[in-house]
Every structure is written in structure tokens, then in C-alpha cells.
Structure 1
């Protein structure tokens, strides 16, 4: 499809059995609007949870999420359905940067991440994506994703500040337990959309619990206006924290490539030529968000779930979703309501979310059949994970500091390629880590 426009699928009222509504098609506008609003609900819980945890303005993040989605649809030629929501991979670097230099410094890191991702997208579009697979094989990608999630684990528990304020599980363990319990139960009790919105359900239940326990303050909500512009923050740059954001580029690459392949598989369409455009679009959207004080964006698995359930892959639904999110972003009262979510609720939800990020890394290993009997793979993952989880810190000079996520990412990429090069030169690339690690003495696949 060369431009913006959609053919009506069938009679526009339903999806034929065994068929899908392709990106260039749509149902009737009332049905398309309804599906678009489902996409808003699907992305909503996770997208607003990031600013709730990091302290970024929710309305600003939602604004750049909507604008980023429109930009994504335009750059990909309206051929790749996707909603760009807040990326959890930014939580750790944003938290560290905010503690060091405030939200402006964190915005600078987000902007730099977006620029780098956009450059990667441009290179992929011109040269193809094979070099990404060579630089970041599944063992490296999975390790980076896993260490980002597990590095956040102490944040879920929470730390008390000198002023006596606390965040996370420690702040209100009862509320946190109720929130986490509600998420767990919603996951297995409900089917369809409600089951996929288990995190949002848990947050709502936890918020109600916090209300009953007197842990919620509504002063800012009452004083906020119903309609108004989001709060924008100009970025600033601190070399000491920029290293925290660089590993996020690897995660965003993995998420975008995974999204393209998922949509291609579900629609039985070759989407590989759009990979570079998708990376470029997300990079530009993240750059724009950083320039105005919003959180970085990424493609959303939650919306993949909506498409899989409805069999509707129409990009028209995403234009509707972007318009709805944009309208919500112009309500300061809504932003204040999000900011009123107490620490106990956030700690309960974060306990699951951070763990899920870690497990997603392991999922990459499993899906790609990474062979951990190969000592190169085993050592790469083992060293990088400990560096990231233990939050190793290196201060090469005053004002310049690299912490667990940055160092763990460097270890994963550097160790893998160094060890692989030496192993190939020495002819030891097929050696098992130990005889017991090779079931039945099967041959290794060399990954």
C-alpha cells in the first residue's frame, strides 16, 4: 500500500473464518473504533506504569506515546501495525539518572538512546539486518534483556530515603501483597482481554486497598485542571549517566525485530523489508520523547495479543488508538491521578514486571535453542548476569560512572565475540562445558 487508506474487509462487519484483516484493510469505522479503543486499554496499564514508577509526568509520556505511534505508522508506510508504549527497559537508567541529575538528565539519556536506535534503523534499512544477528546472537540478546529486569529487583523491594519516605514493597507490604495477589489471580481467573489486562486489574485492586488504608492523597488531583497541555521538560546531558542508557538500544532492537517477525507470522506476510523502518521509527519517536521529557517508547506485546485475539491487523485501529491516547494526554487531572498511585501498589506490580523482563531474556534463549553446553554461551551469560544483577560499578574518572546494566551489556557483547574468536582460532568452539551438560552426548549446534 503506497499511502494512507484502507480497503474494506468483506462486508466490513466481521472477519471471515480462517481470514485476517490485513494492515491495509479495515472493518466498518464503528468496529474499527472499538478495536482501536481496545488497543488503548491494552497498552494503558503498562504505559502509565512507567511514569508512575519513574516519576515522569504521565500525561507527557502518553502524549509522546501517541505522537510516536503516528510517526511509526507514517515511517513504515502505514504497513506495519504497532502501538508505541513506554519501554520498561528505561526504568533502571531513568531512576539512576533522575537520582543523579533530575528528570532533565534522564530525558537527555532517552534522547541519546533514540538517536542511536534511529541510526541503527537507517543502517539496517540500507544494508540489511544480518549484521544485527552477528553482533547480537540470541545468547547475547537474551542475557541483556534478563540482566536489565533482574537489576531492577532491589527497586521492587524499595529503599528508604533520608527524609523517611519509602518506595516499593517496603513502603506498604500489605498493599503490595494485595496488588501482587490480585495480578496473580486475575491472570488465571479471567479469560480474553481481562486476563491480558491482569496487571491493570491488580493495580486497580491495590489502589482500592490503599484507599481503604489511607495511603492515597488527592490534594494534587483536586487542584489539577481538567484540560491543559502536558508538562514538557528540556533535556540536559551528563556524561556520567549516559552509559546507563546505551544498553537499552540493544533491548529496543530485539523488541522491534521481534514485533516485525510476530506480525509477519500472524499475517503470513513478508515484513522483513520493514525492519529498518521500524527501528528508525521507534528511534525517532524515542528521540522526540527525550526532547520533551517523555519516557522512551517501544512496540508493545500487549497489542500483539489484541491483534491475535481479534484477527484484525488493520493500521486504521492504531490511528484510532493514537488519537484516543492524545486526547487523554491533555488532562492534567488524569496525570495527577496516575501520580497519586502509592508506593505499595507500585512495589507489588513491579515485583512481577521486573521478574517478567528477566524471564523474557530466558525466553529468548529457549525460543532460539541457545546451547549452554557450549562454554562460550555459558560463560557469556554467567558473567554478564552477575555483573548486572550485583550492579557492579566502575568509576574511571570523577563524574563518569558505569553501573551494572552498562557493564553487564559490555561483558555480554565483548565476552561472546572474544571467546568465539579465540575458540574458532584454536578449534575448540565445539567443546562442551562438561560431559554431564551434553545429554546423550549429542552434537552441539555451535550457537
Structure 2
């Protein structure tokens, strides 16, 4: 039985709705704007599309799943690769469209054939090392942002001030995550950004480090339409193999992440979301959110663990609250002053929170291996994990022609799936999936 304060379809009063929705919006805010900041996309568009994608998700899942969709960290490196090898951010958006379409295809297959096949295709021994690659592959970016300042003609020099600010930001995020309870513990990234920003202001005032420039904030209008990226208007729509191979294989990880979130959510609210409204619907909602987001310049979307954390703490599962958070995010994206203020966040502050975030991503892969009791005395498992890690972190590249190549994380994910099928021996069962299914059956009996 659910011990919810407000169940999924319960509607809170007006004052409650505003307060609870803002709480969810702030929980996702830091992570959602961090992804576009690191990839050269618009934070305003990321915020706008997170709200739009969440509303689409709620509609597709028939208002049965209280999940919020924010910017996906799994696509940071692929977006950077697509932007660098193509025509800028527009190229990454073409890849994101393809990702949304793949979600739709997988959703259709699950609707027709069930979901067990996808769990066999994406076992923990493949998915966990790829998740580790995502975090570890971005480690250099996080540390570089925390330690190096750009001066003169794009020359980068070590900066003690940057490093101190980055460490302060990291320390604040860790303190919030580990030593506080309640809502604060679910927003370590946002609070870390705020704390690092205040430390930067103090550094500017006392040591004249010039970390923050408010000129653009002063010039910004209170109301400003976000900078959309429209295919055929702001960039040429050219689908290339390079773009598809940089972005699409990451679906291997994000679909697994999606399934995991649905299982956790189901456990929290005492429902079987894999069965009702169905994994096909939740994946379709996620995919449509990503597709619509990419059509106007937003990063790919994923359900957010931060907001699941808020559900756990508050026991308020109402989809009205999730929808309210989405509406607030949409309105906030049109605040020129706020978005200009976001643009003034110093690089070392972003680097400080990135160290924690990317480390958590890598550790999540390690945790998946532990929770599923992957046996590394089994040479089969050892080989699969080893190959994925080295190919992914090492940035391996398989070039067929000058314009057709697979590299890095995408190549590692594809080879991991192939090795899982090719190598002799019994594939490791998904014990976590089995455990969750058993708990759901017991819950439905109750």
C-alpha cells in the first residue's frame, strides 16, 4: 500500500501547488542548465525544452508516471563531437533527432514484443562499463575547467584562484549531498553553483580576480525569447553517418537508465510502471520529448533522479506538481535577466560541480556492477568490461572513410554489445531487474 501524502492523481491546493512545483523545478535546475553550458547550447532553450518534454511525457503516459525530464549528461561528449565535426550545435541537434526516432522505434518493438528482449540486449556487464566511460571520459574536462584560465590569445594558464573556487564549489556540493537531509540533499548541484558563485563574488571584491562580469546582465531585458535553433533556418539539415554514429549508440545507455528510473519510481510509489502505462509508453514519451527538444535547439532528455529523490523525501507523488514544475521552467526560460545571470557563472564553479557529477556518473556504473553481483573471476565478464573501458576512455576510432567513422563511447558501446553475444559462456543475469520484478509482484498482491 502507498503511504503517499498526495498520490499520483491528487491535486494540491493553489498555494501548495506553487511551493511544491518550485521545489521540483529547483531540484532539476542546476543539472539541466549545466549540460548546455558545457556543450555550447542555450541554457534558456534547455530549460524551456525540459518543461515541454515533461508535459509531453505526462501526456503520453496518461498522467500515470510522476517523472521530470531534464538534460541528459550521457550526450555531453557526443554533442561536443557532433558540434566540432559538423556545422556547430545544429549538427548535434540532427543527431538528437535521430536519438528521439530510435526511442520511438524501440517503443514500438516493446509494444509488439514485450520488454524482456531489451534486457538481454543490454545486460549490466555491457551497460555499467559504458556508464563508467561516460563519467571517466569527461573527467579531463571537469578538472581542466577547475584549474586553467584562458588569457590573451586563447592561451591557457594554470590559475590558483580558479582551483580554489573550484574546490570550494565542490566542497559545498559534497556537504549538501552528505551532511544535510531533506530537500537540500536533493539539490547539491544547484546549491554548489550558488555557493561557488558567492565565493567568486567575494574573490572578485577582495582579490580583484575578475571572475564575474555583470555587463550582460545589466544589458539584458527582463523578457527575452530564447535563442531557438530551427533546422533549415538556423542550420542546414544534413544527415551524415558521422552524426548518427556519434549520437545514436548512446541510446544503449540512456534506455537502460530510463528502465532503471521506471523501476525505482515504481518501487517508490508502489506501482508497476513497466506494466501500466507500460515501458513502451514511457520510452515513447522520453523519445518524443527529445525529438521536440532537438527541433528547437534543446539537448536530449532523460528522466531525472534528482526529482525522484524529491518524491522519496516528500511522499508527494502528484503529477499536478510535476506538471507545475514544467510550467514554471517554461516561464523562467523567457527571463532574459535570469538567463544572462546564468551566463555569468564562472568556469571554475562549473568545473567544481562537474567533478562531483561526472564522478557520480562513473561510480553509478561501478555500483551497477556490484548490485548485479557481476563475477569478475569469469573471464567473459572481465574481457567485456576491460575492452569497453579502454576503447571508450582511450577515444578509439574506427574510420571506414574520411566521413564515416565510429569513435570513443559510441564504439565502446557497440563492441560491448557484440562481445556479449559473441563470447562463449552464460550471460550474467540481471539480478537487479529480477529483484525489482519480484518486489512489484509482492506489492501488487498486497
Distance in 1, matches of 2:133 and 2:304, equals 20
How far off is 1:414 after superposition? 1.0
Q: 1:107 to 1:17 in 2, by over 3 A?
A: closer
Partner residue, 1:202: 192
1:139-178 equivalences in 2 (<5 Å) = 139-158=125-144, 163-164=153-154, 172-178=162-168
Gaps of 5+ in 1: 1-15, 431-447
Paired residue secondary structure (1:172)? helix
Following the alignment from structure 2 to structure 1, what is the Cα–Cα distance between the partners of residues 24 and 157?
Answer: 30
Work out whether residues 171 and 343 of structure 1, in 8 Å CA contact, stay in contact via their aligned partners in 2.
no
Partner of 2:79: 94
Counterpart of 1:22 in structure 2 is: 7
**Mapped pair 1:253 → 2:245:** no
Alignment RMSD (CA, Å): 2.3
**d(CA) in 2 for partners of 1:19, 1:233:** 41
Q: Confirm whether residue 272 of structure 1 aligns to residue 262 of structure 2.
A: no
Structure 1 length-normalised TM: 0.86
Shift of residue 17 of structure 1?
Answer: 9.9
1:121 aligns with 2:107: yes
Identify which range, 210-219 or 233-242, moves more after superposition: 233-242
Report the more deviating stretch, 327-336 or 353-362. Answer: 327-336
Match of 1:74 in 2: 59
CA contact (8 A) 2:250 2:413 kept: no
* Mapped contact 1:107–1:234 kept (Cα < 8 A): no
Looking at structure 2, the residues matched to 181 and 23 of structure 1 have their Cα atoms a distance apart, in angstroms, of: 36
Equivalents in 1 of 2:406, 2:328: separation in Å?
39
Q: Distance in 2 between matches of 1:369 and 1:126?
A: 31
Decide whether aligned partners of structure 1 residues 222 and 23 sit closer, same or farther in structure 2, where only a CA change above 3 A counts.
same
1:411 aligns with 2:399: no
Distance 1:20 1:375 in 2: 49
Q: Give the distance between the partners of 2:259 and 2:160, measured in 1 at CA.
A: 37
Moved more, 372-381 or 27-36: 27-36
Cα separation, 2, equivalents of 1:324 and 1:262: 25
**Conservation of the 8 A alpha-carbon contact between 1:158 and 1:167:** no
Q: TM-score, normalised by structure 2?
A: 0.86
Tell me the equivalent position of 1:220. Answer: 216
Q: CA deviation at 1:58?
A: 0.8
Matched residues in 1 for 2:218 and 2:34: separation? 21
Asked if the contact 2:4/2:316 (under 8 Å) is kept, the reply is: no
- Equivalences for residues 35-434 of structure 1 within 5 A: 35-101=20-86, 102-158=88-144, 163-164=153-154, 172-211=162-201, 212=204, 213-235=209-231, 236=237, 237-273=239-275, 274-419=278-423, 422-423=424-425
Measure, in 1, the Cα distance between the counterparts of 2:250 and 2:221. 35
Quick check: 1:241–1:400 contact (8 Å CA) kept in 2?
no
- Single out whichever of 137-146 and 393-402 deviates more from structure 2: 393-402
Residues 314-348 of structure 1, C-alpha deviations (whole Å, 9 max, x = no match):
11111111111110011222222212212111111
